[in-house]
Structure 1
Amino acid sequence: MISFPNAKINIGLNVVEKRADGYHNIETLFYPVGLCDVLELAEATEPAFSSSGIEIDAAPENNLVFKAYKLLKTAYNLPPIKFHLHKLIPFGAGLGGGSADAAFALKMLNEFFQLQLTAEELRQFASKIGADCPFFIENQPTFAYGIGNRFKPIELDLSDYKIVIVKPNVSVSTPQAYKNIVPQKAQFNLLNIATLPVDDWKDVIKNDFERSVLPQFPEIAELKEKLYQLGAVYAAMSGSGSAVFGLFRHLPTDLANSLPKGIFIYR
Protein backbone atom coordinates (compact mmCIF):
# COMPACT_ATOMS: atom_id res chain seq x y z
CA MET A 1 0.00 0.00 0.00
CA ILE A 2 1.32 3.44 -0.97
CA SER A 3 0.16 6.93 -0.03
CA PHE A 4 1.43 10.45 -0.61
CA PRO A 5 1.49 12.56 2.58
CA ASN A 6 1.28 16.20 1.56
CA ALA A 7 2.60 19.37 3.10
CA LYS A 8 0.59 22.35 4.31
CA ILE A 9 1.22 26.08 4.40
CA ASN A 10 0.10 28.55 7.05
CA ILE A 11 -1.82 31.50 5.69
CA GLY A 12 -1.48 34.01 8.49
CA LEU A 13 -0.27 33.09 11.95
CA ASN A 14 -1.16 35.15 14.99
CA VAL A 15 0.42 34.42 18.38
CA VAL A 16 -2.32 35.80 20.58
CA GLU A 17 -1.53 34.70 24.14
CA LYS A 18 1.04 33.00 26.35
CA ARG A 19 -0.58 30.33 28.48
CA ALA A 20 0.06 29.47 32.12
CA ASP A 21 1.56 26.12 31.00
CA GLY A 22 4.24 27.92 28.95
CA TYR A 23 2.67 27.20 25.57
CA HIS A 24 1.17 29.86 23.31
CA ASN A 25 -2.30 30.18 21.87
CA ILE A 26 -2.26 30.87 18.14
CA GLU A 27 -4.66 31.49 15.27
CA THR A 28 -3.75 30.35 11.77
CA LEU A 29 -5.07 28.82 8.55
CA PHE A 30 -3.76 25.44 7.39
CA TYR A 31 -3.96 24.96 3.64
CA PRO A 32 -2.93 21.63 2.02
CA VAL A 33 -0.48 21.80 -0.90
CA GLY A 34 0.88 19.37 -3.46
CA LEU A 35 4.41 18.86 -2.16
CA CYS A 36 4.35 15.21 -1.03
CA ASP A 37 6.39 12.47 0.58
CA VAL A 38 5.86 8.84 -0.47
CA LEU A 39 4.94 6.31 2.22
CA GLU A 40 4.75 2.57 1.64
CA LEU A 41 3.32 -0.05 4.02
CA ALA A 42 3.79 -3.80 3.68
CA GLU A 43 3.50 -6.98 5.74
CA ALA A 44 6.61 -8.05 7.64
CA THR A 45 7.86 -10.63 10.11
CA GLU A 46 9.32 -7.88 12.33
CA PRO A 47 8.37 -4.20 12.65
CA ALA A 48 10.69 -2.10 10.48
CA PHE A 49 11.11 1.43 9.17
CA SER A 50 13.43 2.57 6.39
CA SER A 51 13.79 5.80 4.43
CA SER A 52 15.27 7.40 1.34
CA GLY A 53 15.29 10.88 -0.19
CA ILE A 54 16.10 13.64 2.29
CA GLU A 55 18.20 12.13 5.06
CA ILE A 56 16.32 11.61 8.32
CA ASP A 57 18.63 12.37 11.23
CA ALA A 58 16.84 10.26 13.84
CA ALA A 59 16.61 6.64 14.90
CA PRO A 60 13.81 4.72 13.09
CA GLU A 61 11.99 4.06 16.35
CA ASN A 62 11.76 7.83 16.95
CA ASN A 63 10.15 8.61 13.60
CA LEU A 64 6.56 9.83 13.82
CA VAL A 65 5.44 7.18 11.33
CA PHE A 66 6.66 4.46 13.68
CA LYS A 67 5.08 6.28 16.62
CA ALA A 68 1.73 6.15 14.78
CA TYR A 69 2.15 2.41 14.27
CA LYS A 70 3.00 1.84 17.94
CA LEU A 71 -0.10 3.78 19.04
CA LEU A 72 -2.43 1.60 17.01
CA LYS A 73 -0.46 -1.57 17.77
CA THR A 74 -0.97 -0.99 21.48
CA ALA A 75 -4.69 -0.35 21.05
CA TYR A 76 -5.45 -3.11 18.52
CA ASN A 77 -2.64 -5.64 18.87
CA LEU A 78 -1.54 -5.18 15.27
CA PRO A 79 0.85 -7.68 13.67
CA PRO A 80 4.29 -6.55 12.45
CA ILE A 81 4.48 -4.28 9.41
CA LYS A 82 7.24 -2.38 7.65
CA PHE A 83 7.17 1.20 6.41
CA HIS A 84 9.39 2.85 3.83
CA LEU A 85 9.33 6.64 3.64
CA HIS A 86 10.73 8.51 0.64
CA LYS A 87 11.23 11.96 2.14
CA LEU A 88 10.71 15.01 -0.10
CA ILE A 89 9.14 17.54 2.31
CA PRO A 90 12.05 19.32 4.03
CA PHE A 91 12.53 19.49 7.77
CA GLY A 92 12.57 22.74 9.76
CA ALA A 93 10.45 24.38 7.11
CA GLY A 94 7.03 24.99 8.72
CA LEU A 95 5.38 22.64 6.21
CA GLY A 96 4.17 19.94 8.61
CA GLY A 97 5.86 17.06 6.81
CA GLY A 98 6.42 14.86 9.86
CA SER A 99 2.86 15.33 11.06
CA ALA A 100 1.54 14.52 7.59
CA ASP A 101 3.57 11.30 7.47
CA ALA A 102 2.20 10.20 10.84
CA ALA A 103 -1.41 11.05 9.99
CA PHE A 104 -1.23 9.21 6.67
CA ALA A 105 0.34 6.23 8.46
CA LEU A 106 -2.68 6.12 10.77
CA LYS A 107 -5.06 6.23 7.80
CA MET A 108 -3.11 3.52 5.97
CA LEU A 109 -3.09 1.23 9.00
CA ASN A 110 -6.81 1.78 9.47
CA GLU A 111 -7.47 0.71 5.88
CA PHE A 112 -4.87 -2.08 5.73
CA PHE A 113 -6.14 -3.80 8.87
CA GLN A 114 -9.80 -2.84 8.33
CA LEU A 115 -10.05 -1.27 11.78
CA GLN A 116 -13.05 0.83 10.70
CA LEU A 117 -11.94 3.83 12.75
CA THR A 118 -13.91 7.01 12.10
CA ALA A 119 -12.22 10.29 11.17
CA GLU A 120 -12.84 11.53 14.71
CA GLU A 121 -11.20 8.44 16.21
CA LEU A 122 -8.22 8.85 13.89
CA ARG A 123 -7.95 12.50 14.96
CA GLN A 124 -7.85 11.41 18.59
CA PHE A 125 -4.88 9.15 17.89
CA ALA A 126 -3.23 11.85 15.76
CA SER A 127 -3.54 14.39 18.59
CA LYS A 128 -1.23 12.19 20.69
CA ILE A 129 1.50 12.62 18.07
CA GLY A 130 1.48 16.38 17.41
CA ALA A 131 -0.73 19.45 17.62
CA ASP A 132 -1.15 19.82 13.86
CA CYS A 133 -1.23 16.09 13.09
CA PRO A 134 -5.07 15.78 13.26
CA PHE A 135 -5.38 18.35 10.45
CA PHE A 136 -3.98 15.85 7.95
CA ILE A 137 -6.69 13.27 8.68
CA GLU A 138 -9.27 15.15 6.61
CA ASN A 139 -6.72 17.43 4.95
CA GLN A 140 -9.02 20.36 4.12
CA PRO A 141 -8.53 24.13 4.57
CA THR A 142 -8.85 24.69 8.31
CA PHE A 143 -8.76 27.47 10.88
CA ALA A 144 -6.53 26.27 13.73
CA TYR A 145 -6.50 27.80 17.19
CA GLY A 146 -5.57 26.95 20.79
CA ILE A 147 -2.01 25.65 20.58
CA GLY A 148 -2.77 24.77 16.97
CA ASN A 149 -4.75 21.69 18.01
CA ARG A 150 -8.32 22.94 17.72
CA PHE A 151 -9.90 23.18 14.30
CA LYS A 152 -12.75 24.69 12.33
CA PRO A 153 -13.20 23.94 8.62
CA ILE A 154 -13.26 27.02 6.40
CA GLU A 155 -14.18 27.77 2.80
CA LEU A 156 -10.97 28.74 1.01
CA ASP A 157 -10.19 27.87 -2.60
CA LEU A 158 -6.85 28.91 -4.10
CA SER A 159 -7.16 26.73 -7.20
CA ASP A 160 -6.89 29.83 -9.41
CA TYR A 161 -3.37 30.46 -8.06
CA LYS A 162 -0.05 28.72 -8.40
CA ILE A 163 1.60 28.16 -5.02
CA VAL A 164 5.39 28.44 -5.09
CA ILE A 165 7.25 27.10 -2.04
CA VAL A 166 10.93 27.86 -1.49
CA LYS A 167 13.08 26.31 1.23
CA PRO A 168 16.33 28.20 1.90
CA ASN A 169 19.37 26.37 3.17
CA VAL A 170 18.53 27.11 6.80
CA SER A 171 16.21 25.51 9.34
CA VAL A 172 14.31 27.21 12.14
CA SER A 173 13.42 25.42 15.35
CA THR A 174 10.03 26.24 16.84
CA PRO A 175 11.49 27.18 20.28
CA GLN A 176 13.91 29.48 18.50
CA ALA A 177 11.05 31.12 16.60
CA TYR A 178 9.07 31.70 19.80
CA LYS A 179 12.05 33.21 21.63
CA ASN A 180 11.35 36.86 20.79
CA ILE A 181 7.60 36.65 20.23
CA VAL A 182 5.37 39.20 21.99
CA PRO A 183 1.79 37.84 21.96
CA GLN A 184 -0.89 40.29 20.87
CA LYS A 185 -4.49 40.26 19.73
CA ALA A 186 -4.90 39.54 16.03
CA GLN A 187 -5.59 42.59 13.87
CA PHE A 188 -7.68 40.53 11.43
CA ASN A 189 -9.99 37.59 12.13
CA LEU A 190 -8.76 34.83 9.83
CA LEU A 191 -12.20 33.21 9.91
CA ASN A 192 -13.27 36.11 7.68
CA ILE A 193 -10.61 35.50 5.03
CA ALA A 194 -13.20 34.70 2.35
CA THR A 195 -14.40 38.32 2.54
CA LEU A 196 -10.92 39.69 1.80
CA PRO A 197 -9.64 39.66 -1.81
CA VAL A 198 -6.28 37.91 -2.17
CA ASP A 199 -4.87 41.14 -3.64
CA ASP A 200 -5.42 42.76 -0.22
CA TRP A 201 -3.80 40.01 1.85
CA LYS A 202 -0.33 41.55 1.68
CA ASP A 203 -1.22 44.47 3.96
CA VAL A 204 -3.59 42.59 6.28
CA ILE A 205 -2.62 38.95 6.82
CA LYS A 206 0.58 38.58 8.82
CA ASN A 207 2.77 35.82 10.26
CA ASP A 208 3.86 36.98 13.72
CA PHE A 209 6.89 34.69 13.59
CA GLU A 210 8.37 36.82 10.82
CA ARG A 211 9.09 39.58 13.35
CA SER A 212 11.44 37.32 15.30
CA VAL A 213 12.72 35.00 12.55
CA LEU A 214 13.49 37.34 9.62
CA PRO A 215 16.05 39.47 11.52
CA GLN A 216 17.88 36.26 12.50
CA PHE A 217 17.73 34.78 9.00
CA PRO A 218 17.96 37.56 6.38
CA GLU A 219 17.97 34.97 3.58
CA ILE A 220 14.33 34.19 4.45
CA ALA A 221 13.41 37.87 4.20
CA GLU A 222 15.24 38.09 0.87
CA LEU A 223 13.29 35.11 -0.49
CA LYS A 224 9.99 36.68 0.50
CA GLU A 225 10.92 39.92 -1.24
CA LYS A 226 12.12 38.01 -4.31
CA LEU A 227 8.75 36.28 -4.65
CA TYR A 228 7.05 39.67 -4.67
CA GLN A 229 9.50 40.93 -7.28
CA LEU A 230 8.61 37.92 -9.43
CA GLY A 231 4.93 38.82 -9.32
CA ALA A 232 3.44 37.08 -6.28
CA VAL A 233 0.20 38.68 -5.10
CA TYR A 234 0.92 37.39 -1.60
CA ALA A 235 4.04 35.94 0.00
CA ALA A 236 4.81 34.86 3.56
CA MET A 237 6.80 32.48 5.70
CA SER A 238 4.95 29.27 6.52
CA GLY A 239 4.54 28.47 10.19
CA SER A 240 7.70 29.14 12.16
CA GLY A 241 9.79 28.82 8.98
CA SER A 242 12.02 28.52 7.15
CA ALA A 243 9.99 27.85 3.97
CA VAL A 244 8.45 30.82 2.17
CA PHE A 245 5.53 30.61 -0.22
CA GLY A 246 4.06 32.90 -2.84
CA LEU A 247 0.69 32.95 -4.60
CA PHE A 248 0.91 33.66 -8.33
CA ARG A 249 -1.79 34.13 -10.91
CA HIS A 250 0.77 33.31 -13.59
CA LEU A 251 4.22 31.83 -13.12
CA PRO A 252 7.11 33.87 -14.51
CA THR A 253 9.01 32.06 -17.25
CA ASP A 254 12.34 32.55 -15.47
CA LEU A 255 11.12 31.30 -12.09
CA ALA A 256 13.63 28.45 -11.75
CA ASN A 257 16.56 30.68 -12.66
CA SER A 258 15.40 33.53 -10.45
CA LEU A 259 15.24 31.59 -7.18
CA PRO A 260 18.26 30.34 -5.24
CA LYS A 261 19.04 26.67 -5.24
CA GLY A 262 16.81 24.77 -2.88
CA ILE A 263 13.49 23.03 -2.86
CA PHE A 264 10.70 24.77 -4.69
CA ILE A 265 7.50 23.50 -6.16
CA TYR A 266 4.40 24.97 -7.70
CA ARG A 267 0.87 23.65 -7.80
Structure 2
Amino acid sequence: MYLDVIDLRDFYAEELGATVRQILGQRISTAWPTVRGDRILGLGYATPYLSGFQQEAERVIAFMPAAQGVVNWPAQGPGAAALVHEDMLPLADASVDRVLLIHALEVSNDPREVLREVWRVLSPGGRIFVVVPNRRGLWARVDTSPFGYGRPFSRRQMTMLLRESQFSPLLWSEALHMLPMKRRKIRRPTSPWETIGQKFWPAFAGVIIVEATKLLYQGIPAKEKVKARASFRPALIPAGASPRPTAG
Protein backbone atom coordinates (compact mmCIF):
# COMPACT_ATOMS: atom_id res chain seq x y z
CA MET A 1 0.00 0.00 0.00
CA TYR A 2 1.57 3.24 -1.16
CA LEU A 3 1.07 6.41 0.80
CA ASP A 4 0.28 9.50 -1.20
CA VAL A 5 3.29 11.75 -1.67
CA ILE A 6 1.37 14.64 -0.10
CA ASP A 7 0.92 12.64 3.12
CA LEU A 8 4.65 11.91 3.20
CA ARG A 9 5.52 15.54 2.62
CA ASP A 10 3.12 16.66 5.35
CA PHE A 11 4.56 14.14 7.83
CA TYR A 12 8.08 15.51 7.45
CA ALA A 13 6.77 19.06 7.77
CA GLU A 14 5.43 18.24 11.25
CA GLU A 15 7.41 18.02 14.47
CA LEU A 16 7.42 14.22 14.64
CA GLY A 17 8.71 14.03 11.07
CA ALA A 18 11.41 16.58 11.82
CA THR A 19 12.58 14.42 14.73
CA VAL A 20 12.61 11.30 12.56
CA ARG A 21 14.55 13.16 9.87
CA GLN A 22 17.19 14.28 12.38
CA ILE A 23 17.64 10.82 13.92
CA LEU A 24 17.82 8.94 10.62
CA GLY A 25 19.83 11.69 8.97
CA GLN A 26 22.53 11.25 11.61
CA ARG A 27 22.68 7.51 10.90
CA ILE A 28 23.01 8.13 7.17
CA SER A 29 25.76 10.72 7.56
CA THR A 30 27.64 8.40 9.94
CA ALA A 31 27.52 5.55 7.41
CA TRP A 32 28.40 7.84 4.49
CA PRO A 33 30.69 10.51 5.98
CA THR A 34 31.99 11.51 2.56
CA VAL A 35 30.35 11.19 -0.85
CA ARG A 36 32.73 13.36 -2.85
CA GLY A 37 32.32 12.73 -6.56
CA ASP A 38 29.64 10.05 -6.06
CA ARG A 39 26.37 9.74 -7.96
CA ILE A 40 23.54 9.23 -5.44
CA LEU A 41 20.01 7.99 -6.05
CA GLY A 42 17.19 8.24 -3.52
CA LEU A 43 14.38 5.76 -4.15
CA GLY A 44 10.98 5.88 -2.45
CA TYR A 45 10.57 9.12 -0.54
CA ALA A 46 14.16 10.03 0.24
CA THR A 47 14.23 13.78 -0.42
CA PRO A 48 14.27 14.78 3.29
CA TYR A 49 17.63 13.01 3.55
CA LEU A 50 19.27 13.94 0.24
CA SER A 51 19.83 17.67 0.60
CA GLY A 52 22.97 17.22 2.69
CA PHE A 53 24.72 15.46 -0.19
CA GLN A 54 24.14 18.04 -2.90
CA GLN A 55 27.21 20.15 -2.24
CA GLU A 56 29.67 17.24 -2.21
CA ALA A 57 28.29 14.57 -4.53
CA GLU A 58 28.67 14.72 -8.29
CA ARG A 59 24.94 14.21 -8.77
CA VAL A 60 21.92 13.61 -6.52
CA ILE A 61 18.57 12.48 -7.96
CA ALA A 62 15.29 11.33 -6.41
CA PHE A 63 13.02 8.70 -7.95
CA MET A 64 9.51 8.31 -6.58
CA PRO A 65 7.18 5.37 -7.42
CA ALA A 66 4.36 6.04 -9.86
CA ALA A 67 1.76 4.72 -7.41
CA GLN A 68 2.97 7.19 -4.77
CA GLY A 69 3.30 10.38 -6.80
CA VAL A 70 6.08 12.93 -7.05
CA VAL A 71 6.73 16.42 -5.72
CA ASN A 72 9.18 18.97 -7.01
CA TRP A 73 12.68 18.72 -5.52
CA PRO A 74 14.81 20.59 -4.69
CA ALA A 75 12.86 23.74 -3.92
CA GLN A 76 15.44 25.89 -5.72
CA GLY A 77 17.39 25.19 -8.88
CA PRO A 78 16.82 22.57 -11.58
CA GLY A 79 14.44 19.76 -10.70
CA ALA A 80 16.08 16.47 -9.73
CA ALA A 81 13.00 14.34 -8.93
CA ALA A 82 11.17 12.04 -11.31
CA LEU A 83 8.19 9.68 -11.32
CA VAL A 84 9.25 6.11 -12.18
CA HIS A 85 8.29 2.47 -12.08
CA GLU A 86 10.61 1.25 -9.35
CA ASP A 87 11.29 -2.05 -11.11
CA MET A 88 12.22 -0.31 -14.40
CA LEU A 89 14.51 2.57 -13.52
CA PRO A 90 15.38 4.90 -16.42
CA LEU A 91 19.13 4.60 -15.80
CA ALA A 92 21.97 2.81 -17.54
CA ASP A 93 23.71 -0.17 -15.98
CA ALA A 94 26.24 0.72 -13.24
CA SER A 95 25.35 4.42 -13.46
CA VAL A 96 25.10 5.32 -9.74
CA ASP A 97 27.43 4.79 -6.78
CA ARG A 98 25.04 4.89 -3.82
CA VAL A 99 21.32 4.28 -3.38
CA LEU A 100 19.23 5.36 -0.40
CA LEU A 101 15.99 3.37 -0.05
CA ILE A 102 13.47 4.71 2.43
CA HIS A 103 9.67 4.40 2.32
CA ALA A 104 10.31 2.04 -0.58
CA LEU A 105 10.63 -1.70 0.04
CA GLU A 106 7.85 -2.03 2.60
CA VAL A 107 5.24 -0.63 0.20
CA SER A 108 6.52 -2.28 -2.98
CA ASN A 109 4.52 -5.10 -4.55
CA ASP A 110 7.75 -7.01 -5.19
CA PRO A 111 10.73 -5.88 -3.09
CA ARG A 112 13.01 -8.44 -4.77
CA GLU A 113 12.41 -6.94 -8.20
CA VAL A 114 13.11 -3.48 -6.80
CA LEU A 115 16.42 -4.61 -5.31
CA ARG A 116 17.41 -6.44 -8.49
CA GLU A 117 16.80 -3.28 -10.48
CA VAL A 118 18.83 -1.31 -7.95
CA TRP A 119 21.60 -3.91 -8.35
CA ARG A 120 21.56 -3.30 -12.11
CA VAL A 121 22.02 0.46 -11.92
CA LEU A 122 24.56 0.32 -9.07
CA SER A 123 28.25 0.50 -9.95
CA PRO A 124 30.63 -2.34 -8.96
CA GLY A 125 31.33 -2.01 -5.26
CA GLY A 126 28.44 0.43 -4.89
CA ARG A 127 26.46 0.59 -1.66
CA ILE A 128 22.85 0.84 -0.62
CA PHE A 129 21.43 2.21 2.62
CA VAL A 130 18.03 0.71 3.47
CA VAL A 131 15.53 1.79 6.13
CA VAL A 132 12.48 -0.44 6.70
CA PRO A 133 9.89 -0.76 9.49
CA ASN A 134 10.83 -3.25 12.19
CA ARG A 135 8.41 -6.15 12.44
CA ARG A 136 8.71 -6.15 16.25
CA GLY A 137 8.54 -2.41 16.72
CA LEU A 138 5.62 -0.29 17.82
CA TRP A 139 6.03 2.10 14.88
CA ALA A 140 4.85 -0.62 12.49
CA ARG A 141 1.62 -0.98 14.49
CA VAL A 142 0.39 2.61 14.51
CA ASP A 143 -0.48 4.95 11.66
CA THR A 144 1.00 8.12 13.11
CA SER A 145 3.96 7.82 10.72
CA PRO A 146 4.65 6.36 7.25
CA PHE A 147 6.39 3.41 8.94
CA GLY A 148 2.98 2.10 9.99
CA TYR A 149 2.04 1.24 6.41
CA GLY A 150 3.09 -1.59 4.14
CA ARG A 151 5.07 -4.69 5.04
CA PRO A 152 7.41 -4.60 8.07
CA PHE A 153 10.54 -6.77 8.12
CA SER A 154 12.62 -8.71 10.59
CA ARG A 155 16.41 -8.71 10.34
CA ARG A 156 16.33 -12.31 9.14
CA GLN A 157 13.85 -11.45 6.39
CA MET A 158 15.99 -8.54 5.27
CA THR A 159 19.10 -10.71 5.23
CA MET A 160 17.42 -13.27 2.97
CA LEU A 161 16.00 -10.55 0.72
CA LEU A 162 19.38 -8.89 0.27
CA ARG A 163 21.22 -12.12 -0.40
CA GLU A 164 18.63 -13.27 -2.93
CA SER A 165 19.12 -9.94 -4.69
CA GLN A 166 22.93 -10.26 -4.76
CA PHE A 167 23.74 -7.83 -1.95
CA SER A 168 26.01 -8.48 1.01
CA PRO A 169 25.01 -6.80 4.31
CA LEU A 170 27.84 -4.77 5.84
CA LEU A 171 26.38 -2.93 8.81
CA TRP A 172 23.20 -3.38 10.83
CA SER A 173 21.57 -1.00 13.29
CA GLU A 174 18.19 0.10 14.62
CA ALA A 175 16.62 3.49 15.24
CA LEU A 176 13.45 5.18 16.50
CA HIS A 177 13.48 3.59 19.95
CA MET A 178 11.26 6.36 21.25
CA LEU A 179 7.50 5.94 21.24
CA PRO A 180 5.62 7.41 18.25
CA MET A 181 3.68 9.75 20.49
CA LYS A 182 2.59 13.34 19.99
CA ARG A 183 3.74 14.59 23.35
CA ARG A 184 6.47 17.11 22.69
CA LYS A 185 8.82 15.99 25.44
CA ILE A 186 8.86 12.46 24.02
CA ARG A 187 9.62 13.56 20.48
CA ARG A 188 12.37 16.11 20.99
CA PRO A 189 15.69 15.01 19.42
CA THR A 190 17.37 15.74 22.75
CA SER A 191 14.96 13.48 24.61
CA PRO A 192 16.68 10.66 26.53
CA TRP A 193 14.12 8.12 25.30
CA GLU A 194 16.03 7.31 22.11
CA THR A 195 19.22 6.58 24.07
CA ILE A 196 17.36 4.64 26.77
CA GLY A 197 15.49 2.54 24.24
CA GLN A 198 18.64 1.79 22.28
CA LYS A 199 20.21 0.42 25.44
CA PHE A 200 17.34 -1.49 27.01
CA TRP A 201 14.99 -2.58 24.20
CA PRO A 202 16.97 -2.47 20.91
CA ALA A 203 14.96 -5.34 19.38
CA PHE A 204 11.79 -3.21 19.51
CA ALA A 205 13.12 -0.21 17.61
CA GLY A 206 10.87 1.41 15.04
CA VAL A 207 13.07 0.76 12.02
CA ILE A 208 15.82 -1.59 10.90
CA ILE A 209 18.76 -0.03 9.10
CA VAL A 210 21.20 -1.93 6.91
CA GLU A 211 24.02 -0.89 4.64
CA ALA A 212 24.92 -3.42 1.95
CA THR A 213 27.25 -3.71 -1.01
CA LYS A 214 26.70 -5.06 -4.49
CA LEU A 215 28.02 -8.56 -5.17
CA LEU A 216 29.51 -9.26 -8.57
CA TYR A 217 29.29 -13.03 -8.51
CA GLN A 218 26.54 -15.57 -8.18
CA GLY A 219 26.58 -19.15 -7.00
CA ILE A 220 26.22 -21.78 -9.70
CA PRO A 221 23.65 -24.45 -8.82
CA ALA A 222 25.02 -27.97 -8.75
CA LYS A 223 23.86 -30.23 -11.54
CA GLU A 224 22.77 -33.79 -11.07
CA LYS A 225 25.36 -36.35 -12.04
CA VAL A 226 24.16 -38.33 -15.03
CA LYS A 227 25.17 -41.96 -14.95
CA ALA A 228 26.81 -43.23 -18.11
CA ARG A 229 24.69 -45.72 -19.94
CA ALA A 230 25.88 -48.44 -22.31
CA SER A 231 25.07 -47.69 -25.92
CA PHE A 232 25.26 -49.71 -29.14
CA ARG A 233 26.61 -48.32 -32.38
CA PRO A 234 25.10 -49.86 -35.54
CA ALA A 235 27.49 -51.64 -37.93
CA LEU A 236 27.26 -49.94 -41.31
CA ILE A 237 27.30 -52.03 -44.52
CA PRO A 238 29.07 -50.44 -47.51
CA ALA A 239 26.88 -49.62 -50.49
CA GLY A 240 26.62 -52.49 -53.01
CA ALA A 241 27.89 -55.10 -50.55
CA SER A 242 25.71 -58.02 -49.72
CA PRO A 243 25.28 -59.17 -46.19
CA ARG A 244 27.74 -61.87 -45.07
CA PRO A 245 26.06 -65.28 -45.25
CA THR A 246 25.48 -66.98 -42.00
CA ALA A 247 26.57 -70.55 -41.33
CA GLY A 248 23.80 -73.07 -41.93
- TM class, shorter-chain normalised? under 0.3
Higher share in strand: 1
Q: Give the TM-score of the pair, scaled to structure 1.
A: 0.22
Q: Give the TM-score of the pair, scaled to structure 2.
A: 0.24
